[in-house]
Amino acid sequence: MKLTHEEQEARVRDGMPFMPATPLTANPTGKPCGTCTGLVFSVGPLTPSDVTASVDLIGVGPFVTDTDVWNGAAKEAASPQPQEELEVHCGGKASSSKCPRLSLFPREALLRGVERFEKGIENHGDRAWNAQSANQEILTDLDFLGVRIDHAMNHLMILSEKVTAAKRTGKFEMGDDDAAAILFFGAFACCATKALQSQAKSST
CB burial of residue 127 (10 Å; 0-12, 13-18, 19+): exposed
Each residue's pLDDT tens digit, 85-105: 666 666 666 666 678 889 999
Q: When comparing pLDDT for 29 and 177, which is higher?
A: 177
| Residue-range domain boundaries for the chain | 5-78, 102-203
pTM exceeding 0.85: no
Phi, psi angle pair for 138, to nearest 5°:
-70, -15
Count other Cβ atoms within 10 Å, centred on residue 116: 19
Mean pLDDT of 115-135: 96
For helices 107-124 and 178-203, the axis angle rounded to 10 degrees is: 80
Mean pLDDT of 156-168: 96
Give me the pLDDT at residue 12, please. 62
